[in-house]
A and B are shown apart, each in its own frame.
Chain A
Amino acid sequence: MSFPWAKQYQPANGFTKWIDEKLPLPRLVYNAVGAGYPVPRNLNYMWNFGVLAGFCLMMQIVTGVVLAMHYAANAQVAFASVEHIMRDVNWGWLMRYAHANGASFFFVVIYLHIFRGLFYSSYKAPREMIWILGVVIFLLMMATAFMGYVLPWGQMSFWGAKVITGLFSAIPLVGEPIQVWLLGGYAPDNAALNRFYSLHFLLPFVIAGTVILHIWALHIPGSSNPTGVEVKSESDTVPFHPYYTVKDGFGLGIFLLVFFTFVFFLPNFLGHPDNYIPANPLSTPAHIVPEWYFWPFYAILRAFTTDFIISAKLWGVIAMFASILIWFLLPWLDRSPVRSGHYRPLFRKFFWFGFMPALLVLFICGGAPAEQPYIMLSQLATAYYFLHFLVILPIVSAMETPEELPYSITQAVLHSDKKPVLGENTSPAV
């Protein structure tokens, strides 16, 4: 891994030497997020979100473990046990609001992280595996967040669980038995609540494991950068520590300022009031909406309103899952030899004026009631969404003429770079 000019770990004293021989953990950290990891010198703030995502994951685990000490996963008492946390547990309200808003902010961070990957095509070779693991992490996050939302056993918890597991009933023949099997009953109840709790506790650690693989895969080619030109020589990079540790520290501060504003002053702004009503199987809420971070996908689910060979519901379910699964193929759908959207004039137009507006429309429609004009808007946006990834991207990337790239990162930053001379470190990549 890493570049030939990466600094080497030097144990400073007898003890660290001893550790380095027995278990070179400090060396691992030094090479992963220390001075031993050379990083492009031109990263912009879009490259802060990976570290922030890691912070969010840790924060969710810490607050979640504390909540688990006081929460009771039983349909009779779950709602009351959450109120007990809010009212009687010392700092319980803080743990709960931090965990609930933390989930939302985790998604904010991840969406920006994915956005970065899409605009700068970070998914391209040699980083396909990083991207694939990222999509796996995202899917795991969605499952975790969905099951976590069921735990307080409010109205939206219950009806959300019912609607989402009900999606499986769209599968012909085996659909109903699958739904009953998933829930452990005909409707969400104790069995469902208990298994969701068990999985909600487990999955974050699966995510943590996948994140380790994600970062391992990252450290083989190293980070990409806003120009998309690969690192060529030492002057293109700076050591991760102290340059990016301090920049990520500053980014974390900005993140916490916004996050704390929500936790302490608007803790229920991102939530739904109905979830403060205890679950009631006999009373269906007027509008069942998922949390905001699922809205675009919920809009795709509901966009298919017409039976066509298979049932409309099944189309919706397939399309919703497909809308994320197609991300796996992105490295092979986008053929452009150039990564960064800054140098791809046609791609850039479709990205800003097609893809982003479509996503915005899907987001708004997913949170809106299932009525016109939202349905027809979400249908247009859904059509564009699939066309964008599966049709436009392959074609545009094959035909467009990219703009001229800087010779190197150093050149991009300093507007000059001495061309490599024989015997100097040059990396032949792209």
Chain B
Amino acid sequence: MVRLISIFVGIGFAFVAMVAFVIGVYGWATEPTEKTAEYTFHLYPRDFQFSFEGPFGRWDQVELQRGYKVYKEVCAACHGLEFVAFRNLADLGYSEAQIKAEAANWQVPGIDPVTGEATTRPGTPTDYFPSPYPNDVAARAANNNAIPPDLSLITKARPNGTDYTASLLTGYTDPNTFQIDGKLLRQEFPDFTVPEGLHFNPYFHSLNIAMAPPLTSTGQVTYDDGTEATIRQMSHDVAAFLTWAAEPKMIERKQTGWAALGFVLFATVLAYLAKQQIWAPVKPKNRKTKPNAS
């Protein structure tokens, strides 16, 4: 009885799935979905090299300091870093005194001690990086109706985020000459437009991003260590800095991982040897010898 009903039910489910299949395939064959410009001309991030990649990766503190400078002088105008505190800059190799001085360069929200009114005050090491806008409405108003996202987790919030950030910053180009494998965007999609206030960037999912190219010329930021501040260099450095901001414990994590794996490997080898020894008496050694004596 159970089986009879089951066979019935099984055929029922399969039948309905197949009806949907036939209708779906018919629809697909008769009106195939057209490929969009976003689908055909979207680019995956390019591969940039970073010191912290791989199981033995390390932060390059000088690079992080350069990246911080790019963030501070360029990106911070529009993007916050809400989960990073000034005290965290110690990871970049700054001393306590330097951090104190650096924090004081930033204005953070505060309260006037006399009147109680909202005001701003210089930051202290325990403060977090302030948001450039008081609220989302203000952020939209200043950016063509787009909100510049907080950057504290951006490299984890996008697939392949570190390379993505660097690719995005170096990826602005002219839609009229943009091509992939000899196929011109203009030719394949003559109707493609870049709306007013948006900027063409093939690494962005919709190809048109509301962020104007933030890094536009060599030397836009003056590096303290004398490195030449090309657009590519600045993009690389700020991507590294944002990776640290998103996951400050990354290197500690990898190093702990080696210790943990080493310990487990040792224990596993011991367990294997113990297993071989304990099982030896009951294992058939080979077909010819007599069965176990124990």
Contacts and interface: CB of A to CB of B under 8 A. Distances in A.
Interface stretch (A55-63, A69-77, A107-115, A410-418): A410-418
A383 B18 contact: yes
B264 interface: yes
A306 interface: yes
Contacts of A80: 83
Contacts, number: 174
B261 A376 contact: no
A238 B278 CA distance: 11
Contacts of A413: 284
Interface in A52-106: 80, 83, 86-87, 93-94, 97
Given A376-B25, A379-B20, A382-B13, A276 B157 contact: yes
Interface residues of A, number: 67
Interface string B50-77: 0000010000000000000000000000
Given A249-B275, A333-B2, A376-B25, 14 more contacts: A87-B88, A87-B249, A242-B278, A260-B257, A264-B253, A264-B258, A273-B159, A274-B157, A305-B23, A308-B16, A375-B24, A383-B14, A384-B14, A390-B9
B213 interface: no
B284 A383 contact: no
Nearest to A303: B17
- Most chain B CB inside 10 Å of its own CB: which residue of A265, A267, A319, A335: A265
A252 B20 CA distance: 45
B33 interface: yes
A322 interface: yes
14 contacts: A94-B256, A238-B282, A257-B264, A264-B254, A274-B157, A305-B23, A312-B20, A332-B2, A333-B2, A335-B3, A383-B21, A390-B10, A395-B7, A413-B284
Nearest to A332: B2
Contacts of A263: 257
Contacts of B25: 372, 376
Interface of A: 41, 80, 83, 86-87, 93-94, 97, 238, 242-243, 246-247, 249-250, 252-254, 256-257, 260-261, 263-265, 267-268, 273-274, 276-277, 286, 303-306, 308, 312, 315, 319, 322, 326, 329, 332-333, 335, 371-373, 375-376, 379-380, 382-384, 386-387, 389-391, 394-395, 413-416
Contacts of B291: 414, 416
A278 to B, nearest CB: 8
Given A250-B271, A304-B16, A305-B24, A264 B261 contact: yes
B101 interface: no
- Most chain B CB inside 10 Å of its own CB: which residue of A247, A257, A277, A390: A390
B141 interface: no
Interface string B119-159: 00000000000000000000000000000010011001111
B271 A264 contact: no
A257 B9 contact: no
A161 to B, nearest CB: 19
A380 B10 contact: no
A222 B147 CA distance: 62
B271 A394 contact: no
Contacts of B157: 273-274, 276-277
Interface in B1-53: 2-3, 6-7, 9-11, 13-21, 23-25, 28, 33
Contacts of A312: 20
Contact of B3 (A87, A333, A371): A333
B14 A386 contact: yes
Contacts of B275: 246-247, 249-250
- Most chain A CB inside 10 Å of its own CB: which residue of B13, B159, B260, B287: B13
B287 A41 contact: no
Contacts of A383: 13-15, 17-18, 21
B13 A322 contact: yes
B35 to A, nearest CB: 11
Interface in B207-259: 246-249, 253-254, 256-258
B189 interface: no
B172 to A, nearest CB: 22
Given A87-B248, A333-B6, A386 B13 contact: yes
Contact of A372 (B2, B24, B256): B24
Contacts of B274: 246, 249-250
Given A257-B264, A263-B257, A306 B10 contact: no
A376 to B, nearest CB: 5
B267 interface: yes
B253 A93 contact: yes
A333 B11 CA distance: 15
B183 interface: no
A269 to B, nearest CB: 11
Contacts of A335: 3
A336 B268 CA distance: 39
A312 B249 CA distance: 47
A387 B14 contact: yes
Contacts of A97: 253
A386 B2 contact: no
Nearest 9 pairs of A and B residues by beta carbon:
A264-B257, A390-B10, A253-B268, A379-B21, A276-B157, A383-B14, A386-B13, A306-B20, A250-B271
A268 B156 contact: yes
Contacts of B83: 80, 83, 87
Interface in B164-179: none
A379 B247 CA distance: 41
A249 B271 contact: yes
Interface in B60-117: 83, 88
A276 B21 contact: no
Nearest to A300: B17
A373 B291 CA distance: 57
A332 B1 CA distance: 10
B23 A306 contact: yes
A252 to B, nearest CB: 8
A371 B34 CA distance: 12
Contacts of B21: 376, 379-380, 383
B194 interface: no
B271 A260 contact: no
B3 A246 contact: no
Contacts of A375: 24
A390 B7 contact: yes
B272 interface: yes
Contacts of B153: 83, 276-277
B14 A254 contact: no
Contact of A260 (B13, B23, B261): B261
